[in-house]
């Protein structure tokens, strides 16, 4: 497949780390929240293997923050998510489906509670800020909504603990999963969370002081030499193997949280008020008619740029493949597909066509590992 370069402009925002990752050999970008998000530094397979063994530093500034502060901020944040945040704690992150009035997904951010009246919504690729502003205006909420200058550096991989300990000391590795705190780097405090879009362990540094963040970015590479640190980015293979879902790829505003396996983040039994609550109760009562499932195909490569239909032998539609990659671990193609009832079973097989050739698809449960 021919590749095309990406035309940069003000609208396609750069990050404070862009010049650095370009020197370090970024080979592909994707666009995320109207911003450059690195998608590859050479081979994605080699990067996956490295991520599973060592440590990588990622420019994930495209994970933008929507800051909501003010007297009604907790009310507004709760209105947007089906996850019960009434007992949420300052210093914790929460993975929260954002739901619209139809009970469909708007985004799947990590929400950080900075104070009782200050929250960051660390968004996936959709314009949550306008959704929040619309709701605030319509409800006459007393809130301030903005996109602050926060540019996340993720440090991911098993050796991230050694590297972060070397720079920030023992306290940083005592952070609990999805906890955050403030840590000093050469006189500047940075909010650091134990989180990140890989299942290999790691941290996310929410950089507000750009200059200090850039210094820290360079320092991570200087101090990380002994751990074989490399520049990296969210890895397609690792995230599919780990079952980390991607808004816009695996699911979007036409899907509800039950179809996407988010039921553990849907709280319908408490008194909380959120958009789409009655709709979700109805959906739960009626049961879902399709679900995200894993698939496996005996193939050694695949490239997905749109959904691909999966059919049974008689030509009936089983579902659609939405993301896929070749997995060196499974030695076949694995993917994430929206599968229709009555085919949502791990034993089901189907067919899919790529470039006029037909391949057998095996449906399986998520996550793969
Ligand atoms: N970190 C931050 N912001 C983000 C992402 C991130 N914004 C965009 C995108 N990623 C949002 N999507 C996800 C999806 C999964 C997770 C985090 C963000 C995740 N899930 C864990 C899991 O599935 O095991 C934990 C979920 C839980 O609490 O149970 O980490 O990566 N800042």
Question: Domain spanning 18-63+150-240: which superfamily?
Answer: Probable tRNA modification gtpase trme; domain 1 (3.30.1360.120)
Q: What are residue 235's phi and psi, to 5 degrees?
A: -105, 120
Question: Ligand 1 test: best mutation among 95, 107, 252, most atoms within 8 Å of CB?
Answer: 95
Instruction: Output the pLDDT for position 317.
Output: 97
Q: What stretch of H or E contains 330? A: none
User: Is the Cα dihedral 84, 88, 91, 92 positive or negative?
Assistant: negative
How does DSSP classify residue 157? S
Task: Give the tens place of pLDDT for each residue, 59-76.
Answer: 999 999 999 999 999 999
In the 3-class helix/strand/coil scheme, how is 189-256 assigned residue by residue? Answer: EEEEECCCCCCCCEEEEEECCHHHHHHHHHHHHHHHHHHCCEEECCCHHHHHHHCCCCECCCECCCCC
Instruction: Output the pLDDT for position 2.
Output: 80
Question: Ligand 1 test: best mutation among 51, 59, 92, 109, most atoms within 8 Å of CB?
Answer: 109
| CA 109 / ligand 1 centre spacing (Å) | 7
| CA 196 / ligand 1 centre spacing (Å) | 6
What is the full per-residue pLDDT of the chain (369 aa) written as tens digits? 788 899 999 999 999 999 999 999 999 999 999 999 999 999 999 999 999 999 999 999 999 999 999 999 999 999 999 999 999 999 999 999 999 999 999 999 999 999 999 999 999 999 999 999 999 999 999 999 999 999 999 999 999 999 999 999 999 999 999 999 999 999 999 999 999 999 999 999 999 999 999 999 999 999 999 999 999 999 999 999 999 999 999 999 999 999 999 999 999 999 999 999 999 999 999 999 999 999 999 999 999 999 999 999 999 999 999 999 999 999 999 999 999 999 999 989 999 999 999 999 999 999 998
Task: Delimit the domains of the chain by residue range.
Answer: 18-63+150-240, 289-369
pTM of the model: 0.97
CA distance 256 to 259: 5
Question: Ligand 1 test: best mutation among 197, 201, 367, most atoms within 8 Å of CB?
Answer: 197
| CA 86 / ligand 1 centre spacing (Å) | 20
Residue 279's SS3 state is: helix
Q: What stretch of H or E contains 82? A: none
Residue 83's SS3 state is: coil
Query: Are 194 and 112 within 8 A, CB to CB?
Result: no
Residue 90's SS3 state is: coil
Measured by CA distance, the residue closest to atom 28 of ligand 1 is: 95
Question: Ligand 1 test: best mutation among 81, 98, 110, most atoms within 8 Å of CB?
Answer: 110
Question: Ligand 1 test: best mutation among 195, 206, 243, most atoms within 8 Å of CB?
Answer: 195
Measured by CA distance, the residue closest to atom 9 of ligand 1 is: 124
**Atom of ligand 1 at shortest distance to CA of 94?**
28
**CATH fold group of domain 289-369:** Elongation Factor Tu (Ef-tu); domain 3 (2.40.30)
Instruction: Output the pLDDT for position 102.
Output: 98
Query: Are 123 and 107 within 8 A, CB to CB?
Result: yes
**Atom of ligand 1 at shortest distance to CA of 196?**
31
| CA 261 / ligand 1 centre spacing (Å) | 14
At 141, list the tokens: 């909420």
Instruction: Output the pLDDT for position 238.
Output: 98
| CA 60 / ligand 1 centre spacing (Å) | 12
| CA 246 / ligand 1 centre spacing (Å) | 9
Query: Are 52 and 200 within 8 A, CB to CB?
Result: yes
Measured by CA distance, the residue closest to atom 19 of ligand 1 is: 197
Q: What are residue 98's phi and psi, to 5 degrees?
A: -95, 130
Q: Which residues pair with 179 in a beta bridge?
A: 92
CA distance 160 to 173: 9
Instruction: Output the pLDDT for position 369.
Output: 84
| Residues having CB within 6 Å of any atom of ligand 1 | 63, 95, 108-110, 122-124, 152, 178, 195-197, 204, 244
Measured by CA distance, the residue closest to atom 27 of ligand 1 is: 95
User: Is the Cα dihedral 169, 166, 148, 66 positive or negative?
Assistant: negative
At 214, list the tokens: 């850039």
| CA 110 / ligand 1 centre spacing (Å) | 6
Please give the angle made by the CA atoms of 87, 252 and 304, to the nearest 5 degrees.
Answer: 130
Bond into 342 cis (ω within 30): yes
CA distance 291 to 269: 23
Q: What stretch of H or E contains 175? A: none
Of 133, 130, 158, whose CA–CA distance to 143 is shortest?
Answer: 133
| CA 241 / ligand 1 centre spacing (Å) | 15
Please give the angle made by the CA atoms of 253, 193 and 249, to the nearest 5 degrees.
Answer: 25
Query: Are 343 and 319 within 8 A, CB to CB?
Result: yes
User: Is the Cα dihedral 255, 106, 60, 94 positive or negative?
Assistant: negative
Q: What stretch of H or E contains 98? A: strand 98-99
């Amino acid at each position: 497949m021919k590749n095309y370069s990406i035309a940069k402009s003000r609208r396609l925002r750069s990050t404070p780390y862009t010049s650095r990752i370009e020197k370090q050999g970024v080979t592909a970008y994707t666009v995320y929240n109207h911003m450059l998000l690195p998608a590859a530094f050479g081979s994605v397979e080699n990067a996956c293997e490295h991520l599973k063994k060592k440590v990588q530093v990622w420019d994930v500034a495209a994970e933008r923050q929507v800051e909501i502060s003010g007297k009604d901020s907790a009310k507004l944040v709760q209105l947007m998510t089906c996850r019960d945040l009434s007992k949420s704690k300052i210093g914790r992150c929460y993975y929260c489906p954002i739901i619209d009035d139809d009970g469909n997904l708007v985004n799947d951010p990590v929400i950080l509670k900075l104070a009782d009246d200050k929250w960051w919504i660390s968004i996936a690729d959709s314009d949550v800020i306008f959704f929040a502003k619309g709701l605030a205006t319509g409800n006459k909420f007393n809130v301030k909504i903005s996109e602050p200058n926060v540019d996340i550096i993720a440090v991911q991989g098993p050796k991230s603990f050694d590297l972060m300990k070397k720079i920030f000391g023992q306290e940083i590795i005592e952070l609990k999963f999805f906890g955050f705190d403030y840590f000093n780097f050469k006189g500047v405090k940075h909010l650091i969370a134990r989180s990140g879009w890989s299942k290999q362990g790691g941290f996310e540094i929410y950089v507000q002081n750009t200059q200090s963040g850039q210094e820290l970015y360079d320092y991570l590479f200087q101090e990380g030499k002994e751990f074989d640190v490399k520049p990296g980015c969210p890895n397609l293979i690792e995230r599919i193997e780990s079952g980390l879902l991607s808004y816009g790829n695996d699911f979007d505003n036409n899907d509800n949280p039950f179809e996407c396996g988010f039921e553990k983040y849907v709280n319908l039994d408490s008194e909380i008020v959120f958009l789409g609550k009655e709709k979700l109760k109805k959906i739960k009562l009626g049961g879902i008619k399709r679900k995200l499932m894993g698939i496996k195909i005996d193939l050694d490569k695949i490239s997905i740029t749109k959904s691909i239909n999966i059919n049974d032998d008689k030509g009936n539609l089983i579902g659609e493949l939405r993301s896929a990659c070749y997995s060196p671990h499974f030695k076949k193609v694995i993917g994430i597909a929206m599968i229709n009832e009555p085919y949502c079973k791990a034993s089901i097989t189907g067919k899919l066509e790529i470039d006029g050739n037909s391949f057998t698809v095996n449906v399986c449960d998520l996550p793969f590992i």
